Amino acid sequence: MANENNKFGETASFIHNYIQEDLKGELNKVHTRFPPEPNGYLHIGHAKSICLNFGLAELYGGKCNLRFDDTNPAKEDMEFVNSIQEDIKWLGFDWEDRLYYASSYFQQMYDYAVILIKKGKAYVCDMSAEEIKNSRGDLRTPGKESPWRNRSVEENLDLFERMKNGEFANGEKTLRAKIDMASPNINMRDPVIYRISHMTHHASGDEWCIYPMYDFAHPVEDAIEGITHSICTLEFEDHRPLYDWVIREIGVFDVIPRQIEFAKLNLTDTIMGKRYLRNLVETKQVDGWDDPRLCTICGIRRRGYTPSSIRNFCEMIGVAKANSVVDVQQLEYCIREDLKNDTPVVMAVLDPIKVTITNYPEGKSELLPVTNHPDNEALGERMVEFGREIYIEREDFMEEPPKKYFRLSPDKEVRLKGAYFIKCTGVKKDENGNITEILATYDPETKGGNCTTRKVKGTIHWVYADKAIDAKVNLYENLVIPDESSDNGYSLNPDSLKVCDAKLEPYLKDVKPMDRFQFMRLGYFIADSKHCTKDELVFNRIVSLKSSFKPAKA
């Protein structure tokens, strides 16, 4: 992205204030990072953080690292490490040669913990996790000091080394920072900074059986990499004094990262947490991490969103200090804006009903030119075949229409896009009274859909039955719907996926996965990257055409 397109200047003013203030002082560079934990796939909320961190670095001529925060051996996996890189690249950002793993700092972190012990700022504690929790106190009551708090430096050094050497079982001992059990900030009440976990780590294998806690590891990782501005979400605000304490007490770093918190992205009727997403995937309630209904980056990609639509969305919603919920229609607006000018418009019928044009000669057909985009001549036109039997959308016919129904109904005329006016003369029904076929006549004087003697209000799309090709078309609704009886306030929407047996014009027979089209009157669609083949065409609806959402004027 070019600098002048980087709009974070307009929206993230509180962040700019800090950075500019720092640059007036001793600091002469800006270095940020995006630090995902590789325990799931990235989602749209992460995209906000990625755009912000890489965007700020670019704006200030600085750098942004990609760092895997892989200090927890329990949940991490190479699959996630790979997918995260793929997603960030796809979004259009580049960490160049600055790909780091927190796990590669394990030795340094250990050495820093030893520094704290030597300074009398950390101690080995024998209390269980339960006991530590119960001695923490709460907002009104100070915590109780651990009986092990005053061990000598020598004893602590010895025990910590033996923890590292695997002499103790999981949970038997921890290393705790020695800060203040009466601090009004509970994070400062002698937090655990190392725990024992006899577990194989996806990167460091069995080299370590003690692992640093996030609140110790994270500030150390930032400091090791010379991160100047550690941008994170609001829930870490109360941890900032601890982070600053850790870096100050270790006392070896030139740059003390400045942490700046911003509000997470929340989207209406969307659950973003990796844990929730992971459960949906593992219990096979969705078609993998890239199910187009998910808000994962790969799901959104398979759904048909473009990288620029997501970057524009992140700019549009801005960066704030207060939590809020963004209407998912804003995201949809961004993809429509991105696709509207250069996506070819074709005809597809999702819920087909046959129309026989009884005065059109049997066995005859003709080719009619149809423009590929109403406002973009560069996309040219194509020839569309027309004949006696066509399909139209079942919805585009009503036997007993209300007033102001401008589509097809008995004795009424409608324009077939690019073809002719037709008038309905009757219907055929099955034994249950369902309409199985519509009968119509056409007016040969209205070729191309033009007529000088009379007007029709409705124009509908159609496909020529003899040459139509079959496709599965997936339509989506929100994956979750509000449900007060459920723990998280939501339950799965049983109607989130509707599969249509559609009829398409033969122009679409050679589509490749990820090709995008506008299906006239129906929305923007993409050939599915996972299931669309030469033998079976599968399309996903990216977004419908209509929305009630209007962006605020810039």
- Is residue 247 within 8 A of residue 219, CB to CB? The reply is yes
Which of ligand ATP, Mg ion, none does residue 274 bind to, with CB < 5 to 8 Å depending on kind?
ligand ATP
What's the closest the beta carbon of residue 43 comes to Mg ion, in angstroms? Answer: 12
477: three-class secondary structure by DSSP: coil
| Site for ligand ATP contains 273 (CB under 6 A) | yes
| Site for ligand ATP contains 279 (CB under 6 A) | no
Among 217-225, 269-277, 329-337, 532-540, which window interacts with ligand ATP (CB under 6 A)?
269-277
| Site for ligand ATP contains 213 (CB under 6 A) | no
Element housing 243 (H / E): helix 240-250
| Site for ligand ATP contains 49 (CB under 6 A) | yes
| Site for ligand ATP contains 81 (CB under 6 A) | no
Binding residues among 214-233 for ligand ATP as defined by CB under 6 A: 232-233
Q: What sign results for the dihedral spanned by CA atoms 106, 110, 115, 121? A: positive
Among 265-273, 350-358, 432-440, 473-481, which window interacts with ligand ATP (CB under 6 A)?
265-273
Among 31-39, 318-326, 359-367, 526-534, which window interacts with ligand ATP (CB under 6 A)?
31-39
What's the closest the beta carbon of residue 37 comes to Mg ion, in angstroms? Answer: 5
3-state helix, strand, coil in the chain (%, to 5): 30, 25, 45
Binding residues among 238-267 for Mg ion as defined by CB under 5 A: none
Among 30-38, 251-259, 405-413, 504-512, which window interacts with Mg ion (CB under 5 A)?
30-38
127: three-class secondary structure by DSSP: coil
Question: How far apart are alpha carbons 96 and 230 in whole angstroms?
Answer: 19
**Residue 104 neighbours by CB under 8 Å, 6+ apart:** 203
The residue (of 49 and 446) whose beta carbon lies closer to ligand ATP is: 49
- Is residue 117 within 8 A of residue 156, CB to CB? The reply is yes
| Site for ligand ATP contains 417 (CB under 6 A) | no
Token reading at 14? 């509180």
What's the closest the beta carbon of residue 478 comes to ligand ATP, in angstroms? Answer: 17
| Residues near ligand ATP (CB under 6 A), total | 14
Token reading at 384? 């569309």
| Site for ligand ATP contains 299 (CB under 6 A) | no
The residue (of 36 and 292) whose beta carbon lies closer to ligand ATP is: 36
Q: HSE of 368 in the Cβ direction (CA atoms, 13 Å)? A: 20
What's the closest the beta carbon of residue 288 comes to ligand ATP, in angstroms? Answer: 18
Among 202-210, 264-272, 366-374, 512-520, which window interacts with ligand ATP (CB under 6 A)?
264-272
How many CB atoms are closer than 10 A to CB 546? 9
| Site for ligand ATP contains 272 (CB under 6 A) | yes
Q: Which of 25, 99, 96 is nearest to 58 (CA)?
A: 96
Among 32-40, 59-67, 299-307, 359-367, which window interacts with Mg ion (CB under 5 A)?
32-40
Among 43-51, 137-145, 243-251, 439-447, which window interacts with ligand ATP (CB under 6 A)?
43-51
Question: How far apart are alpha carbons 151 and 157 in whole angstroms?
Answer: 10
- Is residue 70 within 8 A of residue 203, CB to CB? The reply is yes
| Site for ligand ATP contains 32 (CB under 6 A) | no
Q: Which residue is nearest to ligand ATP (CB)?
A: 45
Which of ligand ATP, Mg ion, none does residue 233 bind to, with CB < 5 to 8 Å depending on kind?
ligand ATP
Token reading at 216? 């110790």
205: three-class secondary structure by DSSP: strand
| Site for ligand ATP contains 12 (CB under 6 A) | no
The residue (of 109 and 527) whose beta carbon lies closer to Mg ion is: 109
| Site for ligand ATP contains 296 (CB under 6 A) | no
Q: What is the CA radius of gyration of the chain?
A: 31
DSSP-assigned letters across all residues of 302-359: HHT--HHHHHHHHHHH---SS---B-HHHHHHHHHHHHTTTSPEE-EESSEEEEEETT
How many CB atoms are closer than 10 A to CB 99? 12
| Site for ligand ATP contains 48 (CB under 6 A) | yes
- Is residue 182 within 8 A of residue 58, CB to CB? The reply is no
Q: What sign results for the dihedral spanned by CA atoms 205, 208, 209, 212? A: negative
Q: How far is CA 491 from CA 44, 85, 147, 326, in A?
A: 20, 31, 47, 20
What residues line the site for Mg ion (CB under 5 A)?
37
What residues line the site for ligand ATP (CB under 6 A)?
35-37, 45-46, 48-49, 232-233, 264-265, 272-274
